[in-house]
Amino acid sequence: MKTEQQYFDEALPMHDYIAQMDVPFLKEGTEKIYNQFDVPNDGFAERLAGHKILAITENWCGDAMLNNPIMLKIAEAAGIEMRAAFRDADTDLIDNYLTNGGRAIPIYLVLNEAGEVVAKWGPRAPELQLLVVNGRAELPPKEDEGYAAAEKALYGGLQQKYIAESQCWSWVYEDIKRVVTAAL
């Protein structure tokens, strides 16, 4: 199996990843969040100096639409490189970073200069996970003929919220800061 450093070396620079996104709504949301989010001047970015970030992501992921631009802004504030590896292109990588047994994305790996993983974050801030859990609790049973439409409406509404409400961005930033700072 390849090392995380090898995956990083083969991955797309995050701006190239965003440029190739092929789901217009998610690409536009990513760009909007990127253009509007500012990294707080709280010293966190400076702690990442000398590291690099590998995102495990996919174009179709609504959580990636929210998290990728925030993590990219953090990387840029830190003066470090961030690259994107596609989850489904080589599942060996994501299989080392499962969330509750699943291939949930995005996952962010902070690598040191030697290419070793020193911190991991993702796929979602706890406040956003609560929104998802509560929303899913309101869905009809999976056997119900209205389930698919209700699920689509739930995730569509969450994606709109992710784009429109800067509180979502703050939750992501603060949780990344908390988790990564504890690991460094």
Instruction: Determine the residue type at 180.
Output: V
CA torsion, ordered 77, 60, 84, 67, to nearest 10 deg: 30
Instruction: Give the Å distances, CA to CA, from 153 to 15, 21, 106, 169.
Output: 29, 22, 21, 21
Res 47: pLDDT? 94
Q: What does the domain layout of the chain look like in residue ranges?
A: 4-124+167-183
The span from the CA of 55 to the CA of 126, in Å, is 19
Q: Is 55 helix (H, G, I), strand (E, B) or coil?
A: strand
Q: Are 4 and 90 in contact (CB under 8 A)?
A: no
pLDDT value of residue 1: 81
pLDDT tens track, the chain, 184 positions: 899 999 999 999 999 999 999 999 999 999 999 999 999 999 999 999 999 999 999 999 999 999 999 999 999 999 999 999 999 999 999 999 999 889 999 999 999 999 999 999 999 999 999 999 999 999 999 999 999 999 999 999 999 999 999 999 999 999 999 999 999 8
Tokens 């869905």, located at residue: 139
Q: Each residue of 1-12: b (16+ CB within 10 Å) or e?
A: eeebbebbeebb
CATH class of 4-124+167-183: alpha beta
CA distance 65 to 33: 8
